[in-house]
């Protein structure tokens, strides 16, 4: 899996369900957005064919074509991949950017192209630095296939005293990208259960940690689909 730089661009975001988290659980409805997001850097334009309510015939064809194509993932890692924090515990609040947007509204200005790299960058550009956050780990990109390679797992140590945002964005040939947050050993902490090529835990607010924890982040395909994805974590002082 390769790290990528932070984002830019058009599809609507839908609900995210958090089962259990330090920040509390709720269901957040994410309405469609129309404004243009930040400019995409050196990324070919793509036509959006997936909707937030139902798959069109065209998107079905794209999903099936992606699933039936020859599948190779030379960057696949067996087991879990450890991600190292970029923000040291005890980093002073003065090192973080000033907050300029509300956490529950930053995604409303993002449009998605259906391609995971520019779409992750668009989401991060809208909700990362403007939200008063620093990139907590280098974002990682990978490939998933609902039959041949259903999930990738990342282990991340989280520092208490910080609030976090977790983002996963997939190509529109993946009907539903999910994030499962688990304790080592398998106990579920949080997840999202919506049918979308994008996942946010939580959509309306960052997830604050009272103490240090190490969690596993399972990025997986729910249902049919195959394609690329990008996963990243951002943080700010509590």
Q: Which residues contact 137 (CB under 8 A, 6 or more apart)?
A: 83, 84, 85, 86, 156, 232, 233
Q: Which residue has the higher pLDDT, 42 or 29?
A: 29
Query: If DSSP codes are grouped into helix, strand and coil, which group holds residue 135?
Result: strand
Q: CATH number for the 2-40+77-237 domain, one of 3.90.1150.10, 3.30.70.260, 3.30.750.24, 2.60.120.380? A: 2.60.120.380
Residue 53 predicted with pLDDT over 50: no
Contact 93, 237 (CB under 8 A): yes
Residue 82 predicted with pLDDT over 60: yes
Distance, in Å, from the CA atom of 3 to the CA atom of 121, rounded to the nearest integer, reads 12
Query: If DSSP codes are grouped into helix, strand and coil, which group holds residue 133?
Result: coil
Residue 46 has a pLDDT of 31
Structure tokens at 93: 């609040």
How many CB atoms sit inside 10 A of residue 92's CB?
Answer: 7
What is the rounded average pLDDT for all residues in the chain?
79
For the segment 168-191, what is each residue's pLDDT rounded down to a tens digit?
Answer: 999 999 999 999 999 998 899 988
Residue 114 predicted with pLDDT over 80: yes
Distance, in Å, from the CA atom of 154 to the CA atom of 145, rounded to the nearest integer, reads 17
pTM > 0.85: yes or no: no
Contact 37, 121 (CB under 8 A): no
Residue 38's pLDDT band, with cuts at 50, 70 and 90, is very low
Residue 4's pLDDT band, with cuts at 50, 70 and 90, is very low
Distance, in Å, from the CA atom of 34 to the CA atom of 111, rounded to the nearest integer, reads 7
Q: Which residue has the higher pLDDT, 52 or 226?
A: 226
Ranges 38-47, 61-70, 115-124, 129-138: which has the least confidence: 38-47
Q: Which residue has the higher pLDDT, 215 or 29?
A: 215
């Amino acid at each position: 899996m390769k790290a990528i730089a932070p984002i830019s661009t058009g599809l609507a975001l839908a609900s995210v369900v958090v089962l259990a988290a330090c920040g509390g659980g709720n269901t957040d409805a994410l309405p469609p957005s129309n404004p243009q997001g930040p400019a995409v850097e050196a990324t070919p334009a793509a036509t959006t064919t997936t909707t937030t309510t139902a798959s069109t015939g065209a998107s079905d064809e794209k999903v099936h074509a992606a699933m039936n194509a020859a599948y190779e993932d030379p960057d696949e890692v067996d087991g879990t991949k450890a991600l190292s924090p970029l923000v040291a515990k005890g980093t002073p609040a003065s090192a973080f950017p000033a907050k300029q947007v509300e956490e529950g509204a930053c995604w409303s200005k993002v449009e998605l192209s259906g391609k995971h790299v520019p779409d992750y960058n668009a989401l991060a550009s809208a909700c990362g630095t403007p939200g008063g956050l620093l990139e907590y780990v280098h974002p990682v990109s990978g490939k998933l296939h609902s039959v041949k390679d259903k999930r990738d797992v990342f282990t991340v140590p989280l520092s208490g005293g910080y609030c976090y945002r977790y983002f996963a964005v997939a190509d529109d040939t993946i009907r539903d990208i999910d994030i499962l947050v688990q304790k080592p050993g398998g106990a579920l902490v949080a997840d999202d259960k919506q049918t979308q090529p994008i996942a946010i835990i939580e959509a309306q607010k960052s997830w604050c940690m009272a103490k240090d924890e190490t969690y596993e982040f399972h990025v997986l395909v729910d249902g049919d689909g195959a394609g690329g994805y990008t996963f990243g974590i951002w943080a700010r002082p509590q």
